[in-house]
């Protein structure tokens, strides 16, 4: 086992070393700035939204189809794992039989999707459906109820573990092994964090025979990724099961578990992210962080979209749903260590909910559903009818310029500006993602003492999504940094730097 883990860590580090992405909004990778500011960019919603719709009556997703799930781009094909609900009468609260099936869809363009008949799980008296099979004991561990994340690791030496998943199952207390909650009220069922593995992403087996969060906390897992040699599971906790570092109560916040082998998970957690308004004293009314964040692992950095939860009014009409008036947009967070996340521009809406009456007008749900496709970045998201008014709960698509979530530009146009990267291992190729270059930018290589390396300066004289920097001579191998200079009056926007 130890040899296998070391091999996995080596392969992962090699894959991550292929290209580092220094995003404009990542102030740890690009920390040194003069006369520049970063502007985030909201996505454009696809005109064919929602791109994945509910199925016909009698199908697993007749009630809803939501990207409490994942999209992966493999071999020229998009693969989507999403959660379904069959009965529209159970849209709010507990789903039918505490089961929201893990369903599967495919696409060649990310817009038009098919739902193949997998023939694996009986539903409605037959197996002509797109439900993935999960096997394990006790049976309640196999019944997905909420958030689902799929991770693909083709380098895993064990073919049966090349797909990994984490999801929420609601277990009866009699099925819980490993301890029960000593914090907060006991409930009729336990919200449990469960892991599973698969060879093909369609047929799954539960890891072990107990929840991963066997210490007894009501953790709602919402994310899974591998970063720096560890697996991390992020998700949602709320007081009384968690609290701020100073002991104050907190609404929904993102906590992080970790594992070295995907089988044994830490009892201790890290506080990964809370909205800034949750930390003020007193906190800003109604702000919460819904279901952690959907993650995009770019090797050296994690980009996440999180649910910007805002409570509805406290006073509600008699008999009204308890979440009446709750609204959720999607915001951006970033991490360089896989544990601690920050919001580059607090409360900026990367995907805002739609206008009143639109299909996505109430609350948005994030997935682990990011892909670069040609000149665009695709992000899939879903709508949640949290008010239980039987509105559409389907899956949409938002797009950006490739890696165009945010850009650096001059703050005071009359002056020049510059940005300097963190210390990097240089010697490979460098690329830039820029637009609006009316006057050439220059890019320099600096040594470990922040001094320009003689003769290694280049000009960026045009736009490009992945424009290679051509140096007059070879860049010396070793530690150093990159400096991009903006001339006075420049209208250029720098979205990212890529370093081999």
Q: What percent of the chain has pLDDT over 70?
A: 91
Give the pLDDT score at 182.
Answer: 52
Query: With 60 as the cut, is the pLDDT of residue 454 above it?
Result: yes
Q: Where are the domains of the chain?
A: 19-40+407-499, 44-403
Q: Could you tell me how far CA 467 lies from the centroid of its own chain?
A: 27
Task: Give pLDDT tens digits for 344-367.
Answer: 999 999 999 999 999 999 999 999
Lowest mean pLDDT among 1-10, 95-104, 217-226: 1-10
Give the pLDDT score at 206.
Answer: 96
Give 213 or 99, the one with higher predicted confidence.
99
Give the pLDDT score at 95.
Answer: 41
User: What CATH code is assigned to 44-403?
Assistant: 2.115.10.20
Give the pLDDT score at 408.
Answer: 98
Query: With 80 as the cut, is the pLDDT of residue 379 above it?
Result: yes
Query: With 70 as the cut, is the pLDDT of residue 96 above it?
Result: no
Average pLDDT for residues 6-10, to the nearest whole number? 37
Give the pLDDT score at 94.
Answer: 39
Task: Give pLDDT tens digits for 416-427.
Answer: 999 999 999 999
Reported confidence tier of residue 99, pLDDT bands at 50, 70, 90: confident
Residues contacting residue 182 through CB under 8 Å, at least 6 positions apart: 216
Reported confidence tier of residue 212, pLDDT bands at 50, 70, 90: confident
When mean pLDDT is compared over 14-18, 56-60, 302-306, 389-393, the highest value belongs to 302-306
Gyration radius (Cα) of the chain, Å: 23
Give the pLDDT score at 423.
Answer: 97
Task: Retrieve residue 41's tokens.
Answer: 């960019």
Averaged pLDDT of the chain:
91
- Out of 2.60.120.260, 3.30.565.10, 3.30.530.20, 2.30.30.90, the CATH code matching 19-40+407-499 is 2.60.120.260
Give the pLDDT score at 485.
Answer: 98
Q: Which residues of 84-117 are buried (b: 16+ CB within 10 A; e: fewer)?
A: bbbeeebbeeebeebbbbbbbbebeebbebebee
Query: Would 19-40+407-499 and 44-403 be classified into the same CATH topology?
Result: no
Task: Give pLDDT tens digits for 152-173.
Answer: 999 999 999 999 999 999 887 7
Average pLDDT for residues 202-212, to the nearest whole number? 91
């Amino acid at each position: 086992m130890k040899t296998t883990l070391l091999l996995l860590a080596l392969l992962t580090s090699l894959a991550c070393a292929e290209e580092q992405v220094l995003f404009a909004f990542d102030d740890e990778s690009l920390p040194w700035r003069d006369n520049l500011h970063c502007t985030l960019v909201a996505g454009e919603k696809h005109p064919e939204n929602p791109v994945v719709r509910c199925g016909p009556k009698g199908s697993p997703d007749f009630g809803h189809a939501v990207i409490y799930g994942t999209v992966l781009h493999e071999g020229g094909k998009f693969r989507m794992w999403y959660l379904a609900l069959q009965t529209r009468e159970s849209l709010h609260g507990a789903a039918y039989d505490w089961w929201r099936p893990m369903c599967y869809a495919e696409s060649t363009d990310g817009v038009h999707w098919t739902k193949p008949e997998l023939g694996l799980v009986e539903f409605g008296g037959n197996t002509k459906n797109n439900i993935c099979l999960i096997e394990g004991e006790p049976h309640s561990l196999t019944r997905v109820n909420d958030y689902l994340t799929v991770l693909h690791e083709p380098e895993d030496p064990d073919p049966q573990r090349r797909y990994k998943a984490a999801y929420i199952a609601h277990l009866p207390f009699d099925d819980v092994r490993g301890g029960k909650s000593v914090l907060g009220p006991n409930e009729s069922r336990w919200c449990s964090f469960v892991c599973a593995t698969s060879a093909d992403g369609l047929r799954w087996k539960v890891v072990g025979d107990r929840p991963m969060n066997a210490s007894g906390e009501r953790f709602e897992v919402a994310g899974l990724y591998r970063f720096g040699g560890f697996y991390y599971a992020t998700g949602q906790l709320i007081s009384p099961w968690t609290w701020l570092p100073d002991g104050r109560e907190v609404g929904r916040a993102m906590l992080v578990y970790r594992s070295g082998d995907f089988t044994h998970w830490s009892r201790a957690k890290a506080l990964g992210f809370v909205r800034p308004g949750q930390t003020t004293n007193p906190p800003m009314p109604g702000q919460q962080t819904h279901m952690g964040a959907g993650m995009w692992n770019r090797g050296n950095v994690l980009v996440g979209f999180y649910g910007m939860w805002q409570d509805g009014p406290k006073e509600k009409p008699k008999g009204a749903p308890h979440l009446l008036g709750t609204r959720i947009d999607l915001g951006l967070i970033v991490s360089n260590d896989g544990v601690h996340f920050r919001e580059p521009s607090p409360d900026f809406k990367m995907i805002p909910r739609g206008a009143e009456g639109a299909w996505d007008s109430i609350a948005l749900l994030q997935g682990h559903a990011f892909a670069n496709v040609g000149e665009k970045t695709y992000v899939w998201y879903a709508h949640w009818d949290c008010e239980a008014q039987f509105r559409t709960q389907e899956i949409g698509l938002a797009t950006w310029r490739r890696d165009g979530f945010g850009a650096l530009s001059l703050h005071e146009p009359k002056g020049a500006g510059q940005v300097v990267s963190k210390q990097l291992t240089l010697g490979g190729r460098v690329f830039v993602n820029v637009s609006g270059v009316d006057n050439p930018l220059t890019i320099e290589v600096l040594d470990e003492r922040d001094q320009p390396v003689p003769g290694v300066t280049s000009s960026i004289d045009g736009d490009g999504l992945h424009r290679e920097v051509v140096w007059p001579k070879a860049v010396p191998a070793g530690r150093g940094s990159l400096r991009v200079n903006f001339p006075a009056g420049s209208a250029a926007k720098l979205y990212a730097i890529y370093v081999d």
